[in-house]
Amino acid sequence: MAAGGEVPIHDSTIHRDYGAVGFNINIPIFIGGQYTARAAEAQLEAKAAVKDASLREVEIVQDVRMTWADARDAYLQIDTTRQLADEANVAMRLAQARYDAGLGSIVELNQAALNQTSALITAASARFDYLRSMTAFQFALGDLH
């Protein structure tokens, strides 16, 4: 590296043609293994990046498997809650028939209606849980943005 210049404002006792020049020479003879250290650092950073990528891959696979299992369980719950709702509907019809025939009480009829409503709510919640689980699964797969 070199530099040169002229001083525009100067002492009048100094000649007008005064100037300055400087040189900076850098010869990397004794750098103490700096290049070797930089190369080793770059290799270690590359290994760390590969390790981070493999750990992230494991996390993604785990997320996909967990969300798939949740979606599968939620899907199985839909059938179970549908059967529960069907049984509650049958129980409601029987309670209504018993009440109409004078063999059952209003309490029994109300309890059957409550059970039917509860079963229908549970079935709707199961469908919602399945849709939520499928959305989470699609997100884990990368299908949603």
Question: Crossing angle, helix 34-100 and helix 106-141, to 10 degrees?
Answer: 160
Confirm or reject CATH 1.20.1600.10 for domain 2-141, answering yes or no: yes
Instruction: Quickly state the pLDDT bin for 1 (edges 50, 70, 90).
Output: low
Residue 124, both tokens: 């709707």
Per-residue pLDDT reduced to its tens digit, 91-145: 999 999 999 999 989 999 999 999 999 999 999 999 999 999 999 999 998 887 6
Of all residues in the chain, the percent with pLDDT exceeding 90 is 68
Question: Which one, of 125, 108, 118, lies nearest residue 88 by Cα?
Answer: 118
Q: Rounded to whole angstroms, how far apart are CA atoms 119 and 135?
A: 24
Does residue 6 register a pLDDT over 80?
A: no
- Range with the lowest mean pLDDT among 27-36, 43-52, 71-80? 27-36
CA distances from 28 to 31, 34, 35, 36, 41 (A): 6, 10, 10, 13, 19
Instruction: Quickly state the pLDDT bin for 34 (edges 50, 70, 90).
Output: confident
Domain extents in the chain:
2-141
SS3 19: strand
